[in-house]
């Protein structure tokens, strides 16, 4: 699975994902830290990547677009330490791979997650 992290996601998380064999990129690594949200979505769709973000606007953007891709993982965590984010994400990537491949928005909280199929 290919992943694209925006500025809210720690580069430490992206490095850990790469060490696990994921094709993960961070916007900062490509000097795209100021890329507008809609262009992040376009980039992810073009590169067939799942967007990783803390920005709640991505759910609204995907709903407004009526698109079925890219998938988006939105973190709504109280504990935002890179290790906790990575642990929650690792579980989601293992349990929701099929949903992410066909187009979904996954919202992750400290205790659970919710999947909404795209288009919304």
Residue 35: both structure tokens together: 């890329």
Could you give the CA distance from residue 100 to residue 31 in angstroms, rounded to a whole number? Answer: 26
pLDDT of residue 101: 95
Residues of the domain holding 7: 2-117
pLDDT band, residue 117 (cuts 50/70/90)? very high
pLDDT at 87: 95
Quote the percentage of the chain above a pLDDT of 70. 100
Instruction: Dump pLDDT digits (tens) for 47-106.
Output: 999 999 999 999 999 999 999 999 999 999 999 999 999 999 999 999 999 999 999 999
CATH number of the domain to which 35 belongs: 3.40.50
- Predicted confidence band at 120 (pLDDT cuts at 50, 70, 90)? confident
Q: What is the pLDDT of residues 20-53, one digit of tens each?
A: 999 999 999 999 999 999 999 999 999 999 999 9
Query: CB–CB of 53/43 below 8 Å?
Result: no
Domain count, the chain: 1
Alpha helices (H) in the chain, listed in sequence order: 11-19, 37-47, 57-65, 82-95, 97-102
Q: What is the mean pLDDT of the chain?
A: 96
């Amino acid at each position: 699975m290919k992943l694209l992290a925006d500025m809210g996601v720690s580069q430490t998380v992206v490095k850990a994902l790469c060490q696990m064999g994921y094709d993960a990129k961070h916007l900062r690594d490509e000097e795209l830290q100021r890329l507008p949200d809609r262009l992040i979505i376009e980039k992810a769709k073009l590169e067939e990547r799942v967007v990783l973000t803390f920005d709640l606007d991505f759910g609204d953007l995907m709903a407004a677009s009526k698109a079925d891709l890219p998938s988006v993982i939105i973190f709504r965590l109280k504990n935002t330490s890179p290790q906790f984010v990575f642990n929650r994400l690792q579980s989601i990537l293992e349990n929701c791979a099929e949903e992410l491949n066909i187009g979904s928005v996954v919202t992750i909280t400290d205790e659970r997650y919710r999947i909404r199929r795209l288009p919304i």
